[in-house]
Amino acid sequence: MPSQIEGSLAVARTVARCRPQVVCAYPITPQTHIVEALSRMVAAGELAPCEFVNVESEFAAMSVAIGASATGARVYTATASQGLLYMAEALFNASGLGLPIVMTVANRAIGAPINIWNDHSDAMALRDCGWVQLYATDNQEAADMHVQAFRLAQECSLPVMVCMDGFVLTHAVEPLEVAEQQDVDAYLPPFVARQALDPSAPATIGAMVGPEAFTEVRYLAHAKQMDALDAIPGLAAEFERRFDRASGGLLGGYRCEDARTVIVALGSVFGTLQDVVDERRADGRTVGVLAIKSFRPFPLAELRAALADAGQVIVLERAFAVGVGGIVSADVHAALAGLRVPIHTVVAGLGGRAVTRRSLHAMLDQAHAGSLPELHFLDLNTQLVERELARMREGTSPGPHAENILRELGIVAAGPV
Amino acid sequence: MVFEVRIHGRGGQGVVTAAELLSLAAFEEGLRAQAFPSFGSERMGAPVTAFCRISDLPIRLREPIAEPDAVVVQDPTLLHHVDVFGGLREQGFVLVNSKRTLAQLGLSELYDRHLPPRLRSTPASEIARERLGRPIANAALLGGLSALTAVVRLSSLVRAIEQRLPASVVEGNVLAARETYERVRSTLGEGHGALDGEATHA
Amino acid sequence: MTHFYQTGTFAVGNRLLDEDAASVQADPARANSITKGHRACQGCGEALGARYALDAALRASGGQLIAANATGCLEVFSTPFPESSWRLPWIHSLFANAPAVATGIAAALRAQGRTDIRVVGQGGDGGTVDIGLACLSGMFERGDDVLYICYDNEAYMNTGVQRSAATPPAARTATTEPLGTHPGNAFGQGKNLPLIAMAHELPYVATATVAELRDLERKVERAMQLHGARYLHVLVPCPLGWGSATADTINIARLAKESGLFPVFEAEDGRVVRVSPIRRQVPVEDYLRRQKRYAHLFAGAGRPDVIAQLQASADRNIARFGLLADGGEEPAERDIGLLDVLATSERGAQ
């Protein structure tokens, strides 16, 4: 029975049913509702035994998680944006130590300039930290992915981050199912650590490894993620059998089978894209959309199989690599290497700019007309940008671009100080 | 069927809660509803917009409501400062929280572009102050919206209020919603918002 | 309790004490938290201090102890892969997070209902006073059940002797060279971690040195009787970084205390409650001359002005902690609030 609740609350309740023993988190928009809900559940005794630790920074949050997980406890935390970056060192440490921590990332842009709205630059900035990275296409999947994440984490001895679009998903109220406790218990057995801090069997964890062994240790981390690639589809299938709804897995396609044009995307824009695909198809155009749900490990073979027959591929990204271009599309290129499928990168939705059906249709019109550039920024205000570039070329030191642009848009009072 | 509502107000006026209540009311009637906010920094008094998309089919779309079927303005000081009516459909509904008429509020031009029977103002804050003791007009306005558009039934709205709001304010909000509902309903004669007495989502 | 205080030798005289007053080290069945084979330098004060402290903690906890260690000398020399010197469950995560990792361990144990197992967090001065301070303060203010031990060798030694906020004034390090008029490390800087810990009103804060190992053990035992966040700050000379003779480590630690430069005290809930009195006060020069990191104060015409400032510092410590009074050998009772200690602050006099 679904409840009409906020995405954050569905995640919090689902996480609670996964029986975390330690929850440690630092507040950052837009993840706060999740940890506030968990804090209330712990305080009210609804989630027990569980220690809720109010930490002094995100770096501390992940560090507390490391200590707790190394002691054999099931651990959960959540963050976004600047917070994810602030714990960067600890993220690498957690994955290097093989700790099965699960974390929600409420995707949000990275500053400067400071921006609290949704895009994927935070998780993308840490795509190689050794964590499994899953991207939820809607709130139901976001909640359900956490159950699968805890299971994946403890089976593969890897930390897992579940990415859900900040505000767009976290703050949306809609009909959502929260997995039942007995079903979660049946799906997710208690966590038994492979190696734990325990006086009855003392172990040294976190030793220095020199050149003679480091390569092997790092190779094994890669091998573990490849194991996860095998495990993820099985866990998703088992989830569907037990909970009677599909969620997770490596990829999620919608009307891709005979599609000439396939849009590849991550996260909640998948929903909007499904509407766009239906509208295109009603017009006789064969368009499909393919969601990447497991970004790390990256499903190279599965993606290749799914896109091999496409006429063209558009990778719609909510982040980009400054000085290079697409991030996801680089991996898509690798997956389709050798195949003659044209791939376009469209950067959209940065810093919370809405990705609308109208803009997506315009993009597809360009694609069908063959005039979509290889790298395209959707809805870029080119006049604004050109004026700023002209200012730079003039040689007068233009100051921070953000201030100039805001002044142009009339958001900031015009005129020199 | 899709019906999209956009609610404008300021931080602290319960705009986000209003969208949520509306979505809860729709849920009560077996409809799908998606309520979500659009805001800047969390701060009292800053303009806040909240959206509620209602449909009889699962909602997959995730974009702000650019062409609303109904616009609710909780705080009239936003008028002429924020483009609250931007994109309003020709047959769209308007409900402004004010004891003044739309003309007095300087909104006569709305009558040129939209259907006059679908445009209303109502003194929801005053009603709320009387019923609640505070001028928090969000639930009251939803009562008015229900009367104007029939997108949800008043009884569903009441159930939503009972479920979602703290027990101490439920009674006052229900009374305010009912009163505003009656008040708006009484202004609707022939050619009222929900044409021919049918609910808009029949 | 009888003390055997012998100058010029390094004997502790345990075998003549009653068993219950003897050091943990005298027990042939002792736990041995960090065993031989580690790669510490000859004469390393930290290896000595850590062994005594953790063995005492192991005895106090009945062997039920987990340690979280910051990056630094102790971590590096004790765990050269694939070997480890540690005989207790031990984790090294990062440089800045040992206190937070310890918090996490304690939280997990509480959730698991295993509160009989105790937690120690430890690190050098760099990882504690500088980069680890945010996590340390967080652990303090939450009152997490962790005993944190800082082994203070007064600089970033593992990376080649660079200045930390625990480096004393006038000390030469690779980043505070005494060139031109610079005295070495500047005066008027630095953090006094024991006082910062006191400001968090912890149930127990204490300083100790490796010259009085039985005192160190006693303080660890005292701390282990308590719960909540506790802090121990141990002075551990580093022959390499301090430029001292490897055989002189314990003596130099004693001189640090006897000169007044390193006050040895205990505090509870923000008040100094006991001090280890100076037995025979020595001028700071006796301490400084034994270390090459202060050689520039004596070369050529020397820097008598700087030495005088250091002496004034030592005298101030003696005054504000009451390090000389009594003249007895027992730890002497005191009752000095943190604000009173700060009233005679270093900076005020600069």
Give chain A's domains with CATH numbers: 3-243 (3.40.50.970), 251-377 (3.40.50.920), 382-417 (no CATH)
pLDDT digits (tens, 9 = 90+) for B1-17: 999 999 999 999 999 99
- Cα separation, C247 vs B14, whole angstroms: 73
Going by C-alpha positions, the residue among A266, A321, A320, A319 that lies closest to residue A289 is A266
Find chain C residues with C-beta within 8 A of A63's C-beta. 93-94, 97, 100-101, 103-104, 135
> What integer pLDDT is reported at residue B190 of this predicted model?
54
Residue B163 is assigned to a structural domain of this protein = yes
Q: For residue A113, is the peptide bond before it cis, meaning its omega torsion is within 30 degrees of 0?
A: yes
Residue C18: band (very low, low, confident or very high) from pLDDT cuts 50, 70, 90 = confident
Q: With an 8 Å CB cutoff and a minimum of 3 pairs, decide whether chains A and C touch.
A: yes
The pLDDT-based confidence of C9 (bands split at 50, 70, 90) is very low
- Say yes or no for a CB contact (<8 Å) between C107 and A68: yes
Give the C-alpha separation, A149 to A163, whole Å: 11
Is B182 part of any domain?
A: yes
Render pLDDT for A3-15 as a digit per residue (tens, 0 to 9). 999 999 999 999 9
Q: How far apart are CA A253 and CA A262, in angstroms?
A: 9
| Range B117-141 average pLDDT | 96
Q: State the virtual CA torsion across A73, A79, A85, A90 in degrees, nearest 10.
A: -10
Which chain B positions have a beta carbon within 8 Å of A116's beta carbon? Answer: 41
CB contact under 8 A, B63 and A356: yes
DSSP letter at C162? B
Predicted local distance difference test score (pLDDT) of residue B194: 41
Question: Domain of C343?
Answer: 30-349
Classify A358 in phi/psi space as left (phi over 0), alpha (psi -120 to 50) or beta: alpha
Beta strands (DSSP E) in chain C are: 65-69, 90-92, 118-124, 147-152, 204-209, 230-235, 265-268, 271-275, 332-337
- The verdict on residue B197 lying in a domain is no
- Two tokens at A210? 């020199």
Asked if B37 lies within 8 A of A116 by C-beta distance, the reply is: no
A140, A110 Cβ separation under 8 angstroms = no
Instruction: Examine residue C1 and state whether it is found in any structural domain, yes or no.
Output: no
CB within 8 Å: C135 and A63: yes
Q: Where are the beta strands (DSSP E) in chain B?
A: 2-10, 32-38, 47-55, 70-73, 93-97, 119-122
The CATH number for B34's domain is: 3.40.920.10
- Distance between CA atoms of residues A364 and A262, nearest Å: 10
Starting at the earlier edge strand, list the strands of the sheet with B70-73.
Answer: A3-6, A173-176, B32-38, B47-55, B2-10, B70-73, B93-97, B119-122
The whole-number pLDDT of residue C21 equals 72
Confidence of residue C264 (pLDDT cuts 50, 70, 90): very high
Q: What is the pLDDT of residue A321?
A: 96
Q: A272 and B62 in contact by Cβ < 8 A?
A: yes
Whether the pLDDT of residue C342 is over 60: the answer is yes
pLDDT score of A391:
86
Look at residue A253 and give its three-state secondary structure.
Answer: strand
In a mutational test of the C interface, the residue from A42, A197, A216 whose CB has the highest number of chain C CBs within 10 Å is: A197
C32, C61, C91: best mutation site toward chain A, by most A Cβ within 10 Å?
C91
Residue C106 sits in a domain of what CATH number?
3.40.50.970
Domain count, chain B: 1
Give the pLDDT score at C5.
56
> Among the residues of A18-120, which ranges form H helices?
32-43, 58-70, 81-86, 88-96
pLDDT tier at C329 (50, 70, 90 boundaries)? low
Please give the radius of gyration of chain A, using alpha carbons only, rounded to the nearest integer: 22
Q: Which of B23, B37, B63 sits opposite A171 (nearest CB)?
A: B37
pLDDT of residue C316 exceeding 80, the answer is yes
Tens of pLDDT, residue by residue over C228-246, are: 999 999 999 999 999 999 9
| Residue of C261, C251, C273, C291 whose CA lies nearest to C331 | C273
Count residue pairs from A and C with Cβ separation < 8 A.
Answer: 163
In this structure, what DSSP letter does residue C176 have?
B
| Chain A touching partners, 3 or more CB pairs below 8 A | B, C
Average pLDDT over residues C310-327: 90
In the predicted structure, residue B189 carries a pLDDT above the cut 90 = no
Q: How confident is the model over C58-83, as pLDDT tens digits?
A: 999 999 999 999 999 999 999 988 89
How far apart are the C-alpha atoms of A257 and C137, rounded to whole Å? 57
Q: Which residues pair with C268 in a beta bridge?
A: C271
Helix B138-149, helix B124-132: angle, nearest 10: 130
Q: Give me A187's structure tokens.
A: 């799906």
Domain range for residue B27?
2-188
pLDDT score at A262: 98
* C244-to-A47, C43, C158, C164 alpha-carbon distances in Å: 56, 9, 16, 19
Question: Residue C212, Cβ neighbours under 10 Å: how many?
Answer: 20
Residue with tokens 């062409």: B67
What is the percent of chain A where pLDDT is above 90? 90
Hey, is the C-beta of A116 within 8 angstroms of any chain B C-beta? yes
pLDDT range class, residue B197, cuts 50, 70, 90? very low
Residue among C35, C79, C81, C120 with most chain A CBs within 10 A, to mutate: C81
CB A235 within 8 A of CB A143: no
**What letter represents residue A210's amino acid?**
G
With contacts defined as CB-CB under 8 Å, which chain C residues touch A207?
Answer: 79-82, 84, 92
pLDDT for residue A333: 97
Q: Tell me the mean pLDDT in the region A278-285.
A: 96
CB contact under 8 A, B36 and A167: yes
Q: How far is CA B75 from CA A84, B35, B86, B124, B177, in A?
A: 37, 19, 16, 10, 17
Distance CA A57, CA A73 (A): 21
Q: Integer distance in angstroms from the first to the last C-alpha of chain C?
A: 41
How much is the mean pLDDT over chain A? 95
Q: What is the tens place of the pLDDT at every residue in A398-416?
A: 678 888 888 888 776 555 5
The residue whose two tokens read 């409650």 is: C273
Give Cα C334 distance to the centre of its chain: 20
CB A165 within 8 A of CB B36: no
Radius of gyration of chain C (CA): 19
Chain B residues inside the 8 Å CB shell of A167: 36-38
Whether residue C48 is predicted with pLDDT greater than 80 in this model: the reply is yes
- The values of phi and psi at residue C230, to 5°, are -130, 150
Residue with tokens 């003549």: C16
Determine, yes or no, domain membership for C154: yes
**Length in residues, chain B:** 202
Select from B36, B38, B42 the Cβ nearest to the Cβ of A173.
B36
pLDDT for residue B195: 34
> How close B49 comes to chain A (CA, Å)?
13
pLDDT higher than 90, residue A54: yes
pLDDT at C14: 58
Mean pLDDT, to the nearest integer, of A135-151?
Answer: 98
Within-domain flag for C3: no
Using the predicted structure, report yes or no on whether residue B100 has a pLDDT greater than 50. yes
Q: What is the mean pLDDT of residues C5-17?
A: 52
C327 pLDDT more than 80: no
Q: What does the pLDDT average to over C253-272?
A: 97
Mean predicted lDDT score pLDDT of chain C: 92
**Predicted pLDDT of residue A392:** 86
Chain C residue nearest residue A71, CA to CA = C105
Distance, CA of A238 to CA of A232 (rounded, Å): 10
Closest CA to C52 of C211, C213, C207, C209: C213
Task: Report phi then psi at C65, rounded to 5.
Answer: -145, 140
pLDDT (tens digit per residue) in C130-167: 999 999 999 999 999 999 999 999 999 999 999 999 99
**Is residue B196, in this structure, part of any structural domain at all?**
no
| Residue B140: predicted pLDDT | 97
- Among A321, A312, A269, A313, CA closest to A291: A269
Q: Is residue B125 part of a domain?
A: yes
Task: Provide the pLDDT for residue A109.
Answer: 97
Q: How far is CA A157 from CA A102, A131, A145, A192, in A?
A: 11, 10, 17, 10
Q: Buried b vs exposed e over B139-148: b needs ≥16 C-beta within 10 Å?
A: bbbbbbbbbb
- Could you tell me if residue B84 is inside a domain? yes
**Region A369-380 average pLDDT:** 95
Say which DSSP state C261 is in.
S
**C160 SS3 class:** coil
Lowest mean pLDDT among A192-196, A239-243, B128-132, C92-96: A192-196
Work out how many domains chain C is built from and give that number.
Answer: 1
**Contacts B57 to A, Cβ<8 Å:** none
Chain B residues close to A4, C-beta within 8 Å: 23-24, 27, 33
Q: What's the rounded mean pLDDT across residues C208-229?
A: 97
Contact A63 C94 (CB under 8 A): yes
Q: Do A173 and B61 touch (CB under 8 A)?
A: no
Question: CB neighbours of A414 closer than 8 A, spacing ≥ 6?
Answer: A407
